[in-house]
Each structure stands twice: as C-alpha cells, then as structure tokens.
Chain A
C-alpha cells in the first residue's frame, strides 16, 4: 500500500508540475507552454487585460479557411475560460482579429482584418459594436507623404495591426500595409492618417508593433521590414520613435534600433526599465531585448532559427509579447500553419512591464476607514441590531459579512451588500439566525471599476 501510495504521489506530482507554479522562482527566459490555441488558430497577439486575464484572437490563416474568428479568454494560469465568435466578417477573404487593447469600461478593442475595422467587445454581454473603420488609401503622388494617402510603392488594402491609447483618448493604430499610423478620435469613428512616412513602407511586411513610452508622449513604432525601399536596408526591421506633440501632431520620426536581415520584428512591449522585448517573427524565431537607447542587449534563445526555447513548443513566428507580471505572454502564430505550434508561450523575464495607459481607467481602490460597530437591543428579547459605521473615500458597494470560526476556518453566517456614497455611511443588520459566541464582522468597499479596499475586521460577541 505504501509503495502504491508513493507511486501515486510521484505521478500526481509530475502531473501537477506541468502547470506553472505561482511563487516558484524561475530563471530569466525560462519558457513554458501557457496554452495551445484551438482551431482556427494562428494567434497573432495576446493581450493582457488589467484584470489579469489574457485575451487572444484567432488571426488570418494564409492557406485560407472559412471559419469565423474567435476571441479566447484565459486566466493567469492558462486555463481557457470563455470565447466569443466575431460577427460580420467576410469569410471569403483573409479574416482574423487581434485584441489590441481594452478601454476604461474593460471592453476589448479588436482589430479586424476584413472588413478593416475596430470592434469593441463587451465580455460580460458578449456583444460587439463597431468602434472605428480604416479607409483604403489611394497611393500618394510621387515624393509626397501626406496623411490622406498611402506613401507605399504599391497600392495595398488597409490592415490594422496594433493599437495603443494616447493620453487624450485617441486610439493610435499601425497599418501593416499602407505605411501610415492611424488616429481614431476619442469615442471612435473613421480613422484618419496621423503619421505617413516612406520609411513605414514594408511591402508585404510593414508596420507592426506600437507602444507608448513611460512619458506618455513618445510613441514607438515597429517596422517588420523596409521592403518598400523607404530605408537603406530593405531586409532589416526597425523600431522608430516619434512624439505625440502637445497639438496632437506627430514629431520627427527617428530610428531607435535596427534588426538583423529577415528578423521581421513584430508586436513588441516595454518593461518598466524601458527595455523593449521584441519578438522576431522572421527567420530568427527569437525575442530580442533592446535597451531604451536602442542598443540590442541580448536575444533569446541564443541560437537563431530553430526557436528552441526549452518548452514543448519552439518559437515559430512569435508575433507579439505582453507582460503578465514578470512573465511575457508570447503569441506563437506559426505562419506555416503547424497546428502544434500555434500557442501562447510564457517567458519569464524577471522584470515587470510598463503599466499600459488606458485613459479613464480607474485603478485606485477606495479607502475604508473609521470602521466601528454599535449595537442596540431590539424590544425586550435577546436579539440586537448591529450597525456598522464607516467612512469610504468614493462611491462604493460596501460588503458586510458576519463570520464564525468553524473547524479552524471562518465561515460566512450573514452577508449584506449596500451601495454607499463617499463619506460617512453605515449598514445595519439584525442578529436573528446568528449563533451566540464570538464572531467577526468583515467590511470591504468596491468601486465601480471593481477596485477593492482592504478588508477591515471587527470582533462581534453575541450572547
């Protein structure tokens, strides 16, 4: 019996060890399989929401398919929670979505390939609304770079690729094929060209990642290649920087970093340190780390090409990276269509990501103070009415729980939820049904953005 129990324990340990263990210290670049992405697959961008969950859209199958695109939701452990099917796509053409960001209400901003549009997905209702459309620009006249035309050598359709919020609530969106960065006005609508530059002409491998710097003015723009001959070396990718100037116009476009030939840098992200983590979706199949001054610091894995990262799934067209704590969630697109490699990978970096700017998003929890209990006897009996008084810093939902210790664990005996405005407030409850003895009253406030105060506990003794 003991032997079988030991075998079971060992087997169970090996089974459970397959999941990333929270709290375990991982080496830098330790890579694990976060989750495989079900068909139709081709995950191009995994977005880490402020709620800590990961959202990924299924993107274009270069071989063509007729499956509608879906958005999948994973929790922080990689457990698939929910999914939503994208409506209104033209399935006869290339179709796919990327989850670019989220808004102050927690809705996901999706960039759709066909039609070229941005959608808002309300996760709780499962509803989609159109937020923006991206026009098909006519080619600019020779030697002219205007924002109402495409500076590319060849006339190509729009292809919204990555998006970030600006401080004023504008949404900036890169266009993979038309050599422009779009600006969608606050509240949505038709996108207009914000930045147009010959250097953003990458032919079929154009403008990719976008990120806003810590100063909330500097916009970093990834370029997969310069195949449109807008820069000296057409085979290399670049990261450019520009400023969102006080009047909203773009500043000068300057090159921050240049990749190796055929690297195809894609959806990069910024660490708090300012380091950039740049997935290389081309021949390299690596993640490059670029310092804030543009120096390339290192690449992982060390050898280029095979993508062998030590996990069961090698890097295979790694297309985007986003921070989840100190982990990078990398979307492995596998452009060649290897279903086994279409997955999200979890790469430990030992540093934290820069907090994403989401205009209007309330990240501050309410504060709860001066919590006190008072009691009043009801009629002549032994029942009493307990009033919990407190002060809360903003309009909140206040939860009051009465708990009793049973077999070493606190068990909820009674629970009340009330909405209260900022300032002093109280919640009262009767003790009918509660048992005599020591209990505790736990109070907590939660604001409209689901930020929570710390729990405050007070002892309650009932006779």
Chain B
C-alpha cells in the first residue's frame, strides 16, 4: 500500500532515526548510497508547503492565486493526507479517512463546489441502532437526543451533561482556549474525571467512551476537559455557536453530507490545479533558516524559499529536523499532542440490507470493537457499504490481534447491530491510521491535561519563517476537513503579509 504503513523494520529504523532527527533519511546502506548518488534537484520558490492534505493544498492554492511561486512537498505518493478514497468496484469509491461535511462547514462545502464535486445527504432514512450489553433497540434520531441513544437509564445524565458541556464551551475562546477564564481549572482534569463528578449512571459513563472513540480516537481519561470543551466550541462557525449536538449528529450535524466520488476527489482536483508544483514521494528531513531564507531538504529536492508552511500534524512536524532548533514550547507541543488511535473498518455488501429493516446504518454501541457505524453506500445504494470506528482502547486491543480475528470481531459487531447478513460481506477492509507512517494516528491530535495551557499558544505561533497549518491549528472544526482548509487559508494569509 502506498500509504506508508509501517513495517516492524521501518518502525525500528524510524525510532532510531528520530533520535538522530532524520525521519526521511534511511540507514546508509550500500544500495541506498547508490540510489542517492543523484544529487537532489535544487529549486527556489517564494513558499514551500510541506504536506499535501487539505491544509497544504489550500495554502498553496491561496498563495498561487496571489501570484506567488509555491512548491508542495508530500511524503506519500498521493495527495489528501488523512483523506483517502478506496475503490469498491463498479466505479464506486468509499473513503477510508475523512468522509463527511455538515452545516457551518462552509469552507469544505465551498471548496467542493468550486472543484465541481457535488454533495449528497448521508443516508439517514429509518432508525438508528443502540446496542448495550446484548440488548439492541432502535430509535429515530429526530427525537430530542439526536444521534445519542434515548436509553431511559442514561437520559437524565445525558441531558444534564450535554447541556452543561455546551454552556461551558461558550466560555472557551476558539482562538485561544488557554485564555478561557476557567482554563486553569478545566485543563487540570480529564473529561473522565469531570464526567464521574457530574453524572450518576454507570451506563452513561460507559456511553461517553463510545462517543470519544470515534470522535477523537481516544478514551475520556486521555482528554483534557478544556480540550473537549474547545472541540465543542469549535463545532460551529463565526455565526453559529458550537455545540456537541452539531458535532455528534448526522441530522443537521457534522455527518450530514457526503461527496460524490469520495472526499479525496476534492484534493485530487485541487492538486491538479497546482500542477507540477506538487511533488509526491518527497518526505522532508530538514528545515534550516539562515540569511533571510529558509532551506527545505528532502532526498529529491533542496528548496530555498522565503517562507515555509508546515501543513502536517504536530506529531509529524516534530519528526523534521530544524536548524536552528524550535523553541521549547513548540518542541514540547509536538511531543505532547499525539494523534488519536483510530481504525476505520468497512464492509461492502451486494446491497444495503439493513435498509430493508428500516435502519439507516447508524449504530451507537457500548460494546466494542465497533462503537459507531454509518451507512457509506454510494448515492444509489449499490453496493451497500457499512463502516465503523474502532478507537481508543478498543483499537489498541484489536490492533494487536491478527487481521482474521479482527475481521471476525468487527463483523460480529456489525451483525449484532444489523443482523447476520452482516457476517457475509463481499469485501472487507480496514485502515489502520496509527500504523500509517505519514499519519501516525487519527483523526486528530489530542491534548491531555496541561497541554493546552502549557503549549497551546505554540500551535499557530510562527517560528521565524516557519508557519504552521493543519486541522489541529484551526479555530473552528478542528480535526475536520473544514478546519484543515481554514488553517491553510490562515497560514497563507500569514505568509502573504510577510512577503
């Protein structure tokens, strides 16, 4: 697979090289030395962009529209970053990464429209499934709890906790959550601690991870309360206050729309506009700043530029060598903000059989490995596609298993929610984002207690001629495609102000 899934050998190598600070440069064996006899090509541009996901491509596009020369260096052999299409035959595509868009995500919706990519509504006719300890119930998401299950044992806590989180999130400035009046208090506790102190139902407390695993790829104990509140505040835009419901729901929420041909088509078309300025298979090993210039080094290219935009997640940005070194706060941030642990698992069926039973393919489950599912079928429902998220502890447990065991466990989850027909897919595949060398997890960088207060301001703060983009740096829809596009526009603006 060209997505750079790490082999054991690569992991060992990468670990050793990271110590030496050279992720991209392999061990100097004789063959590699021969291959590298060709000197890297030298280029000079106004701006180098590192990373060809939504953030990097958007930044490059903005800069080019302003008549600046740009070179985009992408480590993978494809564009899209954490957004990737996979063919399921018959000319149909499904997404193994970022999939959905929703109201207030105007930047991704506008970009899709500009690239000629139409949207269609996520299939949402019929009931959702709620599964808890062997008991299955169906419900409509048009009820007061939305996508969250109307389980009578949890409803009092659900109502109280969600409304309190929404209210508290209003006090969090999306541009500077570390400046919230209660930031000190909220960033010194985990979401789990706060939930335990503010809910009574043990079952409700078990539902919370079922939400945080798909949303963050993490357990509530791994998340700072302040970070969670920021994420809720960011689930909106400049005109609409962020809410948990908009983040979590399909109806009027972040899962409302999908893209014809898959979301990666938008990136592909954007990259096509950039033409030869996008260089694939070009991991960057070093960024050096001197004499009013920045020098970006990779095996294939050595590029000098006036500015560089690093449009990769903090964890990957931390694996590049910098000369002079980064300030301590930025360096610590790249260590303290790991990506979530998330697997996306997909089963393809001849038809979306669950629809026959009046189900829309959405399930929320207290039990793993799959805690949430969605109907990912093409617009005409042929073939039927179900995908699910295996995140946090469930991902850690099941990543250690064999692929066959994992497949069996995932399909057993699907069968528990939608019936035994789910056990017989015509195709099954999974995307292990934590194992992807150039992602190292997903869907987003997460912050444990103390990180936002300590290193949060370093997220966007330029370091000399180095600017930072990527969805983790976004004020709104942080962790989403929309946030990535926003960050690319912002970083381009920062650079243009300097050129």
Chain A residues within 8 Å of B, Cβ to Cβ: 1, 4-5, 7-9, 11-12, 15-16, 18-19, 33-36, 38-40, 65-68, 70, 72, 74-75, 78-83, 85, 123-124, 126, 312, 339-340, 399, 401, 406-407, 409, 411-413, 415-417, 442, 444, 455
Are A5 and B277 closer than 8 Å at their CB atoms?
no
Q: Which residues of A contact B120 (CB under 8 A)?
A: 4-5, 8
Give min CB distance, B143 to chain A, whole Å. Answer: 20
Pick from A7, A36, A67: contact of B180, CB under 8 Å: A67
Mask of B67-86 contacts with A, CB within 8 angstroms, 1/0: 11100000000000000000
Are B239 and A80 closer than 8 Å at their CB atoms?
no
Are A79 and B69 closer than 8 Å at their CB atoms?
no
Give min CB distance, A185 to chain B, whole Å. Answer: 28
Interface residue SS majority, chain A: mixed
Assess whether B110 is interfacial by the CB under 8 Å rule. Answer: yes
Known: A12-B119, A83-B175. 10 other contacts (CB 8 A): A4-B120, A16-B106, A18-B106, A34-B238, A399-B67, A409-B273, A413-B276, A415-B68, A415-B69, A442-B67
Of all A-B residue pairs in the complex, the 10 with the closest CB atoms, nearest first, are: A415-B69, A35-B238, A38-B173, A83-B175, A411-B275, A8-B120, A124-B497, A8-B121, A1-B380, A33-B239
Are A40 and B109 closer than 8 Å at their CB atoms?
no
A442 to B68, CA, bound (A): 12
Q: Which residues of A contact B453 (CB under 8 A)?
A: none
Q: Which residues of B contact A4 (CB under 8 A)?
A: 120-121, 379
Assess whether B490 is interfacial by the CB under 8 Å rule. Answer: yes
A188 to B237, CA, bound (A): 38
A35 to B68, CA, bound (A): 30
Pick from B180, B272, B486: contact of A39, CB under 8 Å: B180
Give min CB distance, A411 to chain B, whole Å. Answer: 4
Q: Which residues of A contact B174 (CB under 8 A)?
A: 38, 80
Given contacts A399-B67, A417-B46, contact A8 B486 (CB under 8 A): no
Q: Which residues of B contact A16 (CB under 8 A)?
A: 106, 109-110, 113
Mask of B236-261 contacts with A, CB within 8 angstroms, 1/0: 00111100000000000000110000
CB interface residues, B 46-67, toward A, < 8 Å: 46, 64, 67
A406 to B271, CA, bound (A): 13
Give min CB distance, A447 to chain B, whole Å. Answer: 13
A66 to B181, CA, bound (A): 7
Mask of B318-341 contacts with A, CB within 8 angstroms, 1/0: 000000000000000000000000
Are A74 and B180 closer than 8 Å at their CB atoms?
no
A9 to B121, CA, bound (A): 9
Given contacts A1-B380, A81-B490, A82-B490, contact A39 B67 (CB under 8 A): no
Are B238 and A74 closer than 8 Å at their CB atoms?
yes
Q: Which residues of A contact B497 (CB under 8 A)?
A: 123-124
Assess whether B10 is interfacial by the CB under 8 Å rule. Answer: no
A123 to B494, CA, bound (A): 9
Q: Which residues of B contact A124 (CB under 8 A)?
A: 494, 497-498
Are B121 and A80 closer than 8 Å at their CB atoms?
no
Q: Can you list 25 pairs linking A and B with CB atoms under 8 Å apart?
A: A5-B118, A8-B121, A12-B119, A15-B103, A16-B109, A16-B110, A18-B239, A36-B239, A38-B174, A66-B181, A67-B180, A68-B179, A75-B493, A80-B238, A82-B460, A83-B173, A85-B176, A85-B457, A123-B497, A126-B462, A412-B275, A413-B276, A415-B45, A415-B67, A415-B69
Q: Which residues of A contact B238 (CB under 8 A)?
A: 34-36, 74, 78-80
Give min CB distance, A407 to chain B, whole Å. Answer: 8
Assess whether B489 is interfacial by the CB under 8 Å rule. Answer: yes
Given contacts A1-B380, A12-B119, contact A38 B175 (CB under 8 A): yes
Chain B residues within 8 Å of A, Cβ to Cβ: 45-46, 64, 67-69, 103-104, 106-107, 109-110, 113, 118-121, 170-176, 179-181, 233, 238-241, 256-257, 272-273, 275-277, 379-380, 457, 460-462, 475-476, 486, 489-490, 493-494, 497-498
Minimal Cβ-Cβ distance residue in A for B238? A35
Q: Which residues of B contact A406 (CB under 8 A)?
A: 275
A40 to B171, CA, bound (A): 8
Are B179 and A67 closer than 8 Å at their CB atoms?
yes
A126 to B460, CA, bound (A): 11
Are B476 and A80 closer than 8 Å at their CB atoms?
yes
Q: Which residues of A contact B118 (CB under 8 A)?
A: 5, 8-9
A40 to B183, CA, bound (A): 12
Minimal Cβ-Cβ distance residue in B for A452? B67
Q: Which residues of B contact A66 (CB under 8 A)?
A: 181
Are B276 and A36 closer than 8 Å at their CB atoms?
no
Minimal Cβ-Cβ distance residue in A for B103? A15
Pick from A5, A70, A81, A85: contact of B379, CB under 8 Å: A5
Q: Which residues of A contact B104 (CB under 8 A)?
A: 15, 18
Q: Which residues of B contact A40 (CB under 8 A)?
A: 173, 179, 181
Minimal Cβ-Cβ distance residue in B for A404? B275
Minimal Cβ-Cβ distance residue in A for B173? A38
Given contacts A80-B475, A80-B476, contact A39 B276 (CB under 8 A): no
Are A15 and B379 closer than 8 Å at their CB atoms?
no
Q: Which residues of A contact B493 (CB under 8 A)?
A: 75, 81-82
Given contacts A80-B238, A312-B239, A409-B273, contact A415 B172 (CB under 8 A): no
Q: Which residues of B contact A18 (CB under 8 A)?
A: 104, 106, 239-240
Q: Which residues of B contact A339 (CB under 8 A)?
A: 170
A424 to B466, CA, bound (A): 35
Q: Which residues of A contact B486 (CB under 8 A)?
A: 79
Q: Which residues of A contact B257 (CB under 8 A)?
A: 8, 11-12
Are A444 and B176 closer than 8 Å at their CB atoms?
no
Q: Which residues of A contact B109 (CB under 8 A)?
A: 12, 15-16
Pick from B46, B113, B176, B461: contact of A415, CB under 8 Å: B46
Give min CB distance, A64 to chain B, whole Å. Answer: 10
Q: Which residues of A contact B272 (CB under 8 A)?
A: 407
Q: Which residues of B contact A8 (CB under 8 A)?
A: 118-121, 257
Most B C-beta atoms less than 10 A away, residue of A36, A70, A312, A409: A36
Are B179 and A85 closer than 8 Å at their CB atoms?
yes
Are A7 and B175 closer than 8 Å at their CB atoms?
no
Q: Which residues of B contact A68 (CB under 8 A)?
A: 179
A21 to B214, CA, bound (A): 35
Minimal Cβ-Cβ distance residue in B for A65? B181
A94 to B158, CA, bound (A): 38
Give min CB distance, A307 to chain B, whole Å. Answer: 18
Pick from A70, A126, A340: contact of B461, CB under 8 Å: A126
Q: Which residues of A contact B457 (CB under 8 A)?
A: 85
Are A19 and B106 closer than 8 Å at their CB atoms?
yes
Q: Which residues of B contact A81 (CB under 8 A)?
A: 489-490, 493
A9 to B180, CA, bound (A): 38
Q: Which residues of B contact A15 (CB under 8 A)?
A: 103-104, 106, 109
A1 to B475, CA, bound (A): 35
Give min CB distance, B116 to chain A, whole Å. Answer: 12
Give min CB distance, A408 to chain B, whole Å. Answer: 11
Give min CB distance, B470 to chain A, whole Å. Answer: 15
Q: Which residues of A contact B273 (CB under 8 A)?
A: 409, 411
Minimal Cβ-Cβ distance residue in A for B44? A416
Most A C-beta atoms less than 10 A away, residue of B103, B173, B233, B476: B173
